[in-house]
Amino acid sequence: MKNTFILGIEGTAWNLSAAIVTETEIIAEVTETYKPEVGGIHPREAAQHHAKYAASVIKRLLAEAKEKGVEPSDLDGIAFSQGPGLGPCLRTIATAARMLSLSLDIPLIGVNHCIAHIEIGIWRTPARDPVVLYVSGANSQVISFMEGRYRVFGETLDIGLGNALDKFARRAGLPHPGGPKIEACAKDAKRYIPLPYVIKGMDLSFSGLSTASSEALKKASLEDVCYSYQETAFAMVVEVAERALAHTGKNEVLLAGGVGANTRLREMLNEMCEARGAKFYVPEKRFMGDNGTMIAYTGLLMYKSGNTLTLEDSRVNPNFRTDDVNVTWIKEEEMKKVPEISPEAFLRAPPGERLDNGAEAVIYLDEGPEGKKVLVKERVPKLYRHKEIDERIRRERNRTEARLISEARRAGVPTPIIYDIEEFKLKMQFIEGVPIKYLITPELSEKVGELVGRLHSSGIVHGDLTTSNLLLAGERLYLIDFGLAYFDKSLEARGVDVHVLFQTFESTHRGHETLVKAFEKGYGSTFIDSKDVLKRVEEIKKRARYA
Ligand SMILES: C[C@@H](O)[C@H](NC(=O)OP(=O)(O)OC[C@H]1O[C@@H](n2cnc3c(N)ncnc32)[C@H](O)[C@@H]1O)C(=O)O
Ligand SMILES: Nc1ncnc2c1ncn2[C@@H]1O[C@H](COP(=O)(O)OP(=O)(O)OP(=O)(O)O)[C@@H](O)[C@H]1O
Ligand SMILES: [Fe+2]
């Protein structure tokens, strides 16, 4: 069988890079990097850079390919980064791609840049069906494949981790790109400085951390702040990856994106995976940041599954989302089936046996007074994160959970009764129920809406609304896991709460639109400000991350 040859062009931001690949081989790759003289990336300057070098990069690429016996006439398609990325940069490389496609009379292939970061990792490592932690300049997402799409389980609510690092570095007087410089500085640190740690369900936020870090520079050494920034930010993304593992039941983690070059981040992910018995994969360093090979290779997968573009459809999309892409090249039946835990298994567990390996805690049953079953939730140490962060988080969340689980019950939301509180351990009523992720229906979703409406009316935000954290026992729906809950009556906090839930609907449940509609109905029936919050949810969803 003849090999397929695809030429791919990357140029979404700072790196102009083109490559030619086959199914099994990288024929050639040529790169020209834009380096801003001052400050960060200027979109128009970067685009001018790409325009200036596009022709010479392609010429050099074709010359290198020729040396290996590959002629332009051997090419089967031209792939390019169609988005997401900086508009002016995207348009420049799309023009180059169109010209090549027209002159060689071969199809155009529009590649989603984020998915290319994933596919190159799957190509270059033994990972097959991983949870992907994609952390780059503009993006920070936790992604996994399900039913024809790469689903986003969680993502940054403000800026990407790389951009956050770069911005902080600039304020600290370090040159662009800041990520590697922060990593180097952190090595000489003497101590950890406490910084804000913010996650919402599987979503992340880096703005509070960045502001606090810049403030901290006034009182502490650059080395100490860099170190503390890394320890905090990386603990957040690793925790979110662990939550996605727990939620999906998958057992591989793949690291992708430019920030993935960081040694400390790799070490932490590796430790997390080891502790859970999951496999950790990361491709060679040259494939972590933006590169032409990942575009060519993803283009090849798309080409072979008939996924090419007409000229009219080749317009770039600066906000192209990972979950917008119909993944034509993965056959569902070839994916490893995630073992489904039977709903009954939750009810049959004997005392002492571990019920669940949640992301945060181990859960087991114990004998309570009068032979009653009592559930113990023990927040065990996470060795991947700094001891100070680890203890602070576990202590705070344990305390928060005990307090707010009871507050919520007073507001009319069924929750387990707390029997006993230790520093890192709670004993509570065992709800003989099943997480609704196994049985969600529109009727149930409406009930969830009613319950969340009551919670929000009382001023409480849950902070981790997923279908794993709602249990159905008989007719009754219980809300559990209040470790991330807090009091907040703002539209934003409530909006993010609902957004997190909708994201679980979309990433893990079929027919999510119906579930959303049903939720909205229930939510409106118990919460007077529901309309405003739902409007905010729309806004949060649409928030452009490439401004
Ligand atoms: C849309 C596209 O243009 C964008 N690309 C991008 O952000 O470039 P990428 O090569 O994946 O990542 C660059 C980021 O990766 C960070 N970075 C590189 N080496 C690092 C290191 N050792 N430690 C921490 N961050 C590092 C840089 O500081 C920079 O913020 C993206 O993938 O979001
Ligand atoms: N009171 C309870 N009664 C019955 N089952 C429970 C109870 N509390 C927890 N569980 C079971 O244990 C699982 C994990 O609990 P929980 O969500 O509190 O832990 P976690 O470590 O915070 O999980 P994660 O962070 O992954 O959401 C729940 O999904 C549920 O199946
Ligand atoms: Fe990238």
- Condensed to tens digits (0 to 9), the pLDDT of residues 82-95 reads 999 999 999 999 99
Which domain does 399 fall in, by range? 341-427
pLDDT for the residue numbered 547: 38
pLDDT for the residue numbered 346: 56
CB 87 within 8 A of CB 42: no
Confidence of residue 545 (pLDDT cuts 50, 70, 90): very low
Ligand 1 center to 109 CA (angstroms): 24
Q: How many residues belong to the chain?
A: 547
Kindly report the pTM of this predicted structure. 0.93
Average pLDDT over residues 284-297: 97
Rounded to whole angstroms, the Cα distance separating 402 from 385 reads 24
Q: Which of 16, 150, 290 to mutate to test the pocket of ligand 1 (most atoms within 8 A of CB)?
A: 290
Plot region of 52 (φ>0 → left; ψ -120 to 50 → alpha; else → beta): alpha
488 flagged as catalytic: no
Residue 396 burial by Cβ neighbours in a 10 Å radius (0-12, 13-18, 19+): middle
pLDDT one-digit tens code per residue, 233-261: 999 999 999 999 988 889 999 999 999 99
- Whole-number percent of the chain with pLDDT over 70: 95
Give yes or no for residue 262 CB within 6 A of ligand 1: yes
> Does residue 527 lie in a domain region?
yes
What are the tokens at 104? 């060689």
Residue 78 has pLDDT above 90, yes or no: yes
- Can you tell me which atom of ligand 1 is nearest the CA of 290? 10
- Ligand in closest contact with the CA of 365: 2
Q: Which of 133, 156, 165, 182 to mutate to test the pocket of ligand 1 (most atoms within 8 A of CB)?
A: 165
Q: Which residues contact 48 (CB under 8 A, 6 or more apart)?
A: none
pLDDT one-digit tens code per residue, 109-122: 999 999 999 999 99
Structurally, how many domains does the chain consist of? Answer: 4
CB 499 within 8 A of CB 480: no
> Does residue 317 lie in a domain region?
yes
**Choice between 429 and 351, residue whose per-residue pLDDT is larger:** 429
Rounded to whole angstroms, the Cα distance separating 22 from 31 reads 19
Query: Which residues are annotated as part of the binding site for Fe cation?
Result: 113, 117, 134, 290
Of the candidates 464, 488, 497, 532, the residue annotated as catalytic is 464
- Residues 48, 110 within the same domain: yes
pLDDT one-digit tens code per residue, 197-206: 999 889 999 9
Protein residues whose CB sits closer than 6 Å to any atom of ligand 2: 243, 246, 346, 355-356, 358-361, 363, 375, 377, 416, 428-431, 435, 468-469, 471, 480-481, 483
- Ligand in closest contact with the CA of 259: 1
pLDDT for the residue numbered 159: 93
pLDDT for the residue numbered 546: 42
Residue 303 burial by Cβ neighbours in a 10 Å radius (0-12, 13-18, 19+): buried
Closest C-alpha among 546, 458, 447, 543 to residue 501: 447
For 333-350, b/e burial (b = at least 16 CB within 10 A) is eeeeeeeeeeeeebeebe
CB 31 within 8 A of CB 292: yes
Query: Which residues are annotated as part of the binding site for L-threonylcarbamoyladenylate?
Result: 134-138, 166, 179, 183, 262
pLDDT for the residue numbered 249: 87
Q: How far is CA 349 from CA 182, 356, 366, 427, in A?
A: 47, 10, 10, 17
pLDDT one-digit tens code per residue, 51-64: 999 999 999 999 99
- Residues 348, 465 within the same domain: no
- Residues 234, 363 within the same domain: no
- Ligand in closest contact with the CA of 184: 1
Residue 544 has pLDDT above 50, yes or no: no
The set of long-range contacts for 211-220, using a CB threshold of 8 Å and a minimum separation of 24, is 213/168, 214/168, 214/171, 214/172, 217/171, 217/172, 220/193
Residue 347 has pLDDT above 60, yes or no: no
Q: How far is CA 63 from CA 28, 80, 100, 295, in A?
A: 9, 20, 15, 20
CA dihedral 184, 189, 195, 198 (to 10 degrees): 40
Give yes or no for residue 113 CB within 6 A of ligand 1: yes
Q: How many CA atoms lie within 13 A of 99 on its CB side?
A: 11
Ligand 2 center to 399 CA (angstroms): 16
- Residues 247, 170 within the same domain: yes
The sign one gets for the Cα dihedral 377, 384, 198, 448 is: negative
Interface predicted TM-score of the whole assembly (ipTM), two decimals: 0.91
How many separate helices (H) and strands (E) can be counted in the chain? 15, 22
Q: Is 476 helix (H, G, I), strand (E, B) or coil?
A: strand
- Residues 311, 270 within the same domain: no
- Residues 14, 42 within the same domain: yes
Closest C-alpha among 12, 41, 258 to residue 170: 41
Give yes or no for residue 435 CB within 6 A of ligand 1: no
pLDDT for the residue numbered 343: 55
Query: Which amino acid does the sequence have at 185?
Result: C
- Residues 39, 98 within the same domain: yes
DSSP 309: B
**Choice between 176 and 379, residue whose per-residue pLDDT is larger:** 379
pLDDT one-digit tens code per residue, 178-220: 999 999 999 999 999 999 999 988 999 999 999 999 999 999 9
- Residues 170, 276 within the same domain: yes
Q: Which of 355, 363, 394, 468 to mutate to test the pocket of ligand 2 (most atoms within 8 A of CB)?
A: 363
Here the CATH number for the domain that contains residue 458 is 1.10.510.10
pLDDT for the residue numbered 342: 57
pLDDT for the residue numbered 358: 77
Residue 153: its H or E element: strand 149-155
Ligand 3 center to 198 CA (angstroms): 24
- Residues 58, 136 within the same domain: no
Residue 270 has pLDDT above 60, yes or no: yes
- Can you tell me which atom of ligand 2 is nearest the CA of 246? 26
pLDDT one-digit tens code per residue, 474-494: 999 999 999 999 999 999 999
Average pLDDT over residues 435-454: 94
436 φ, ψ (degrees, to nearest 5):
-70, -5
> Does residue 186 lie in a domain region?
yes
> Does residue 331 lie in a domain region?
no
Rounded to whole angstroms, the Cα distance separating 9 from 54 reads 9
CA-nearest residue for atom 4, ligand 2, is 431
Rounded to whole angstroms, the Cα distance separating 110 from 421 reads 55
Query: Which residues are annotated as part of the binding site for ATP?
Result: 355-363, 377
Ligand 3 center to 478 CA (angstroms): 41
For 495-513, b/e burial (b = at least 16 CB within 10 A) is bbbbbbbbbbbbbbbeebe
pLDDT one-digit tens code per residue, 518-535: 999 999 999 999 999 999
Neighbour tally for 15: CB within 10 Å: 20
- Can you tell me which atom of ligand 2 is nearest the CA of 434? 31
pLDDT one-digit tens code per residue, 125-166: 999 999 999 999 999 999 999 888 999 999 999 999 999 999
> Does residue 329 lie in a domain region?
no
Residue 344 has pLDDT above 80, yes or no: no
> Does residue 204 lie in a domain region?
yes
- Residues 131, 245 within the same domain: yes
pLDDT for the residue numbered 38: 79
- Residues 274, 136 within the same domain: yes
CA-nearest residue for atom 29, ligand 2, is 468
Give yes or no for residue 12 CB within 6 A of ligand 1: yes
Pairing of strands 77-83, 108-112: parallel
